[in-house]
Structure formats: C-alpha cells, structure tokens
Amino acid sequence: MNDPARTARQARGGPTVASVLLRGHREYGDRPAIVEPGGRTVSYRELGSLARRLVGGLRSLGLAKGDRVVVLTKNRPECFVLDHALAIGGFVRVALSYRLHPREVAEIVADCGARAVVVDGERLAEISSVVSETLVALDDPAGDAVPFQELFPVREADPAEVWPGDVAWMPYTSGTSGRPKGVVHTHRSLLAIIRNMLVELHGAASSDVLAHTAPLTHLSGYAMLAYFLRGASQIALGRFDAEELTEIVEKHRVTVLPLVPTMINLMLPVLESGKHDVSSVHTVLYGGSPIAPDRLARAIAVLGPVFVQSYGLTEMPWSSWLPKQDHLFDPGGELPARLGSAGRVSPFIEMRLADGAGQPVADGEAGEIQLRGDAGMAGYWNLPEETAETILDGGWIATGDVGRMVDGYLRIVDRKKDMIVSGGFNVYPTEVENAIYALPGVAEVAVIGVPDDRWGETVRAVVVRRAGAAVTAEDVQQVCLGSIAAYKRPRTVEFADELPKTGTGKIMRRELKARYWAGRDRLVNG
C-alpha cells in the first residue's frame, strides 16, 4: 500500500550538511580536524563527539530543530565545533560580522527570532545590555550568560532528522535601505555552493592545512565547510597580522589560505622580504572585492600561480572563477587583462547581463549581472516583497552589480546600488547617511566610495551644513561610531555648499564619485 507521507519524505531526501559532516567524522577518524596555533589537535572523531555533545547542551537550553542561533565571535577553534553542532542538531546558523554595532546585533537577533546568542568575552558585556535572549559565553561568563564549556554533557546526543530543504545558514546582508536582511540558505543550496567550490578547487584533500584569518562568518566559512568534507586540517586565527600569518604558514606547513584582497595587499612586504618559508602554500582563495592587477602580479611573483579568485554575493556565492592557470603570465610582458576580471562563470550556474528593461545585452556591453542555479538563496527571511524584487521571473537572482563579458571573462565595472566594498566588507551608503542625518546641523549628505590602495575603497561623506551650523568632521565620525559598525564610518569627510541633483531632486552620487575615479576603467577598486 502506498504511503503518501512516506513518498513525500523520500522525494525530499538526499544528503544534507549534517549527513556529510557526520560521514566525515567517521571516514577521517584519527586525522587532525582542528589544529590550534600552539600545536594541539582535535581529530575528526573527537570533533564529532564534541559536536554531538554540544547538540545535547543546546537542547538543554530549550532549543529545538529550526531554532536560530546567532554567533558573534572572532575566529577561534570553538567556531568549528559550534558549526558542526548547529548542522547536526538541525539548528540555523546566523553568523554575524564581529564588527557590527550592538544596536545592529540586537536588530538582527529580533528580526530572526533567535533563541540563543553565542558571543565571546570581548563583546559579552555590551551585547548583554541590548539582548534579552539566552546568551552563551565562549569565555568567562557574566550575569545570566551560560558558560559554553558547560554545554557538553558526557553523553552524545542523537542527530536531528534533517532534510535538504531545511534552513541551514542565514547570513545577513544589508540593502540600499540599510535594513539588514536574512539570506535563507537550505542544506540543499549550501551543499550546492560547496559542490561548486570543490569543482573549481580540484585537488582539495585530507592532506591540506588551512589557516583562517579571513572571517569564518564570510569567505572563510564556505572554505571551512568545503575542506572539512575532504578531511583537511584547519586553523582559526582571531585576527589578521601579516607577520603572524606567515609564521603560522611556515610552522604548520599551511597549504590553503582564504584571503580578502586587502590581506594580500598587506602581506606583500612580508612575503617579498623572504623571511619565512611559505613554499607549502599551493592555493590562495581570494574574493570579497577586486584586487589591483599590479599588486596581484607582485603576489604571484612570490608565491607563484597559486591564486584562485571567485565572485558572488551572499544570495548566490562563488558564481564565477578565475582559476590558477589564468594567473599564469609572462612576467616580462604586459599584465593580461583577465587579471582584472572575475573569471568565467561556474559550470553549475547560469549568468546573464541585462539592461534596464531586463533584456540581455551584447558581449562587451555593460548590464546587471543576474544569476540562476541551485546554489541560490531560498529568499529573504520574512521579507516577501524584497524577495520578489531580487528573485526574478524564471528564478534569476538580480545582483545589483554591473558587469560586461569580454572574451568569456566577467568584468565587474560598477555597483548598481552604490554599495561600497572596503577591505572585503560591504558598506551601503544609505545606512551611513542615515546615521549622519542624526546630527541636527546636517542639511544633506552623500556617502560614496573612493579609491584606496590599501582597502580597495574607503568611505567618504560629503556633507552640506545647515545655515549657521558648526558641524565638524569629528562630529560626523562620533555620530557614526554611536550607531553603526566602525568599518562603515567615513574615513574622510568633506563639506560642500550643495550636492549635485537630478531634475527630480535626487542626489547624484555617481557625479560626486566620478571626480575620484577619473581615468580608471572601472568604478570599483582593489
């Protein structure tokens, strides 16, 4: 006799993040999964045991499958254990940028309906003052916070019954309105993302050693998961320091480095000094923002053609790739144009460039980048209108980025929504402008990205004072520090008598921006 419910369950079946992690714990058993900078290791078998015990600890707090857990911490070994436990327990990982302002964290906790917030010692006090949900303290607890180390009962808990369509990760991204949006990725879409990565990172193996100094909440988090599925060893570093990182590479014979371009820029003097043996590195995975080809060429001169670039967005990560062979070039000749590109489209993703009317543009012409594939988000958390604006008819995801195809390579030339990428972090002008408008003496403000050799872009605010007001650059800096993350605040502030506007009165950010980008072939930098 047919059982409709059983048939429906089987139709939803397939691998999940939980199932592949559990398999890895068994298959790689005694291999080191976590390597601490000091040398202590945790095997895959031990990692699996810790994760399943933590599942039990989280359930003891009243958490159940599907509950959202916010994670706010720098990179540290506990991140690996927590990520495995969240997947195996069927909880939803909401990992936030460590640099968010407490107000921003509180807004996201409320928006996603988080049942618990895991936070490290440096931020525990300020987060506890704005969040009433259960706090789990990774370090010395305070107040009512639950000590992380007490969430490990002796017995391992049974994994949850997890299905591919269940929500796995929910990173947050802001929009042009400045409102944070939860990007819903299921176990199915997250595994599709990892599949796309492993296809391009062919050769990922259990012999690999990764050092994560890029945030595990962003680029490094996907790399972490991909390489755990291959049985690699992983090191978490809580901060980026070029000298320290190269020492770690030499000491632990690190083979894979996920980095944002700003980190590559800052590492150049140390790499070029030849002080440390970094010959073990065979892959540098970079993304998050473009990088200037001349600086990339300098890095290649030291490390060789070990670089792999990827372009994507939170809603559809890792969508195009510039592989290692495309980083090969004649050092005596001109730098190839492809070094300034975002590579070729992933074989598992469709890409089209569309004009303002939604029609495809010809090769070489600029258009909005739109993506489609099983690695795309399911939608924005509880935001049906915004989801409909981003996921277009036919399943295409509108990125808001403008690009052009040249000889099969994607070149990012602008950002449709004026987003700024500074040091690999996204900054949305409206969000910063809203903070500055809190100053009574500000009549108008426009926030733009300007080129910077170190950070790619930095934030500049152009402010029009109200008549008789004495607003200073320091005032602008302070009001921003009081309401938004420090990395979003303007690095520079200028004052103007007026701002350029369209006939309808809309401020023309692009005209302001143009003076700083004159003579460049694209309006983004690296």
Q: Looking at residue 426, what is its pLDDT? A: 79
Structural domain includes residue 474: yes
Res 10 pLDDT > 50? no
Give the mean pLDDT of 197-223.
94
Q: What is the pLDDT of residues 262-279, one digit of tens each?
A: 889 889 999 999 999 999
Please state, in angstroms and rounded to a whole number, the distance separating the CA atoms of residues 487 and 28.
Answer: 39
Res 361 pLDDT > 80? yes
pLDDT > 70: percent of the chain: 94
Q: Which residue has the higher pLDDT, 369 or 430?
A: 369
Q: Give the type of residue at 508.
A: M
8-state DSSP, 507:
B
Q: Which residue has the higher pLDDT, 340 or 390?
A: 390
pLDDT > 90: percent of the chain: 71
Q: Looking at residue 463, what is its pLDDT? A: 95
Please state, in angstroms and rounded to a whole number, the distance separating the CA atoms of residues 224 and 468.
Answer: 54
CATH of the domain at 477: 3.30.300.30
Q: Tell me the three-class secondary structure of 93-129, residue by residue.
A: EEECCCCCCHHHHHHHHHHHCCCEEEECHHHHHHHHC
Q: What is the pLDDT of residues 303-342, one digit of tens each?
A: 999 999 999 999 999 999 999 999 988 877 888 888 888 9
Give the mean pLDDT of 3-25.
78
Structural domain includes residue 495: yes
Q: Looking at residue 7, what is its pLDDT? A: 47
Q: Looking at residue 2, what is its pLDDT? A: 52
Mutual angle of helices 242-252 and 261-273, in 10-degree steps: 70
Q: Give the type of residue at 167.
A: V
- pTM here is 0.86
Best CA proximity match to 489, nearest among 498, 479, 497: 479
Q: What is the pLDDT of residues 459-477, one digit of tens each?
A: 999 999 988 999 999 999 9
What's the whole-number average pLDDT of the chain?
91
Structural domain includes residue 428: yes
Cβ-proximal residues to 151 (8 Å cutoff; 6+ apart), any chain: 54, 57, 58, 60, 61, 136
The per-residue b/e assignment along 49-85, b for 16 or more CB within 10 angstroms, e otherwise, is bbbbbbbbbbbeeebeeebbbbbbbbbbbbbbbbbbb
Structural domain includes residue 488: yes
Please state, in angstroms and rounded to a whole number, the distance separating the CA atoms of residues 384 and 10.
Answer: 28
Tokens of 184: 């819903």
Q: Looking at residue 526, what is its pLDDT? A: 52
Res 416 pLDDT > 80? no
Structural domain includes residue 353: no
Give the mean pLDDT of 179-196.
96
Give the mean pLDDT of 285-295.
77
Q: Looking at residue 9, what is its pLDDT? A: 56
Cβ-proximal residues to 58 (8 Å cutoff; 6+ apart), any chain: 69, 85, 89, 91, 116, 151
Confidence band of 504 (pLDDT split at 50, 70, 90): low
Q: Looking at residue 358, what is its pLDDT? A: 87
Cβ-proximal residues to 197 (8 Å cutoff; 6+ apart), any chain: 222, 223, 226, 310, 318
Structural domain includes residue 236: no
Question: Please, which residues bridge with residue 495 across strands?
Answer: 463
Please state, in angstroms and rounded to a whole number, the distance separating the CA atoms of residues 285 and 198.
Answer: 12
Confidence band of 173 (pLDDT split at 50, 70, 90): confident
Of 97-106, 138-147, 514-523, the poorest mean pLDDT is in 514-523
Res 241 pLDDT > 50? yes
Structural domain includes residue 478: yes
Structural domain includes residue 376: no
Q: Looking at residue 324, what is its pLDDT? A: 94
The residue range of the domain holding 475 is 420-514
Q: What is the DSSP secondary-structure string of 412-454?
A: EEEETT--EEETTEEE-HHHHHHHHTTSTTEEEEEEEEEEETT
Q: Tell me the three-class secondary structure of 320-375, residue by residue.
A: EEECHHHHCCCCCCCCCHHHHCCCEECCCCEEEEECCCCCECCCCCCEEEEEECCC
Give the mean pLDDT of 439-458.
89
Indicate the number of domains in the chain.
1
Q: Which residue has the higher pLDDT, 514 or 388?
A: 388
Q: What is the pLDDT of residues 75-94, one digit of tens each?
A: 999 999 999 999 999 999 99
Give the mean pLDDT of 42-58.
98
- Top mean pLDDT of 39-43, 357-361, 500-504 is at 39-43
Q: Looking at residue 176, what is its pLDDT? A: 44
